[in-house]
Amino acid sequence: MAKLRLKITKGNEIRYVSHLDFAGTIERVVRRAKLPAAYSEGFNPHMKMAFASALAVGVTSEAEYLDLELSEEPEIASIETRLNSQLPAGIELKSARYMGTPSQALMAVVNLATYEIAIPLAPEATWDTVMTSVSNFNSEVEIIYIKESPKGRREIDIKEYLAAPVTAKLAPENQSWLSLSLSIKITPSGSVKPAEVLAVLTGSYGLPADYGSALIHRTGLFVSDGRVQRSPIEL
């Protein structure tokens, strides 16, 4: 058995595809590329594939990682060629690498995600009001947010999951749009979604921007020890 780690994208063309459908698409690509994927045993065998962190519907990404177990070990160049011939629009293979044995599961080691949020400013917005909102948010020690899920409602402290202060700048290509940068921890006890951070910024801290038109893009997933950030494919 060999563990193949892939870095792929999720582009605008498939922004609204769910994580389950995204994973199903990758499975079909692997089969059509005729890679020697390994399968579980039992009545309903499934492809041995695992993602680092599920991406919310509507969020794009330039750095998604998945592990795929193979029963053989084809050359990386051959794998890249075969996958690239089958990938649909919106998914691009950035890199591929065999991982040593033993290697930890992606979900066990990836603990940091970075995001860029592009959001249109309100007509009355000024740079001073933007910076006041962001500064007031960053200066808080604790920000309680009611998180709703199929399991019910619970309170979380948003600041507990932010690895760095939120930063803001005007989008270089369109000065009527704001670009926010977020760095979010992924922990065994949970995390916070960038959309939830944005909801608090606009709803509770007066960020003068159109929440409903925000475009969220995941720029990276990392293994971080608090000082050094490494890509999961570089481990």
Give CA–CA dist 49/43, Å, rounded.
18
Q: pTM (2 decimals)?
A: 0.94
CATH number at residue 101: 3.30.70.580
Q: How far is CA 14 from CA 50, 52, 59, in A?
A: 20, 19, 9
- Domain of residue 71: give its range: 2-108
Taking only the tens place, the pLDDT of each residue in 200-227 is 999 999 999 999 999 999 999 999 988 8
Q: Are residues 127 and 226 in the same domain?
A: yes
Taking only the tens place, the pLDDT of each residue in 98-157 is 998 778 889 999 999 999 999 999 999 999 999 999 999 999 999 999 987 777 888 999
Taking only the tens place, the pLDDT of each residue in 60-76 is 999 999 999 999 999 99
Q: Are residues 124 and 89 in the same domain?
A: no
SS3 assignment, position 108: helix
Taking only the tens place, the pLDDT of each residue in 161-210 is 999 999 999 988 788 999 999 999 999 888 999 999 999 999 999 999 99
Q: Are residues 104 and 132 in the same domain?
A: no
* Domains held by the chain: number: 2
Q: Which of 63, 87, 108 is the last residue of a domain?
A: 108
| DSSP-assigned beta bridge partners for residue 49 | 68
Q: Are residues 97 and 119 in the same domain?
A: no
Q: Which of 74, 108, 142 is the last residue of a domain?
A: 108
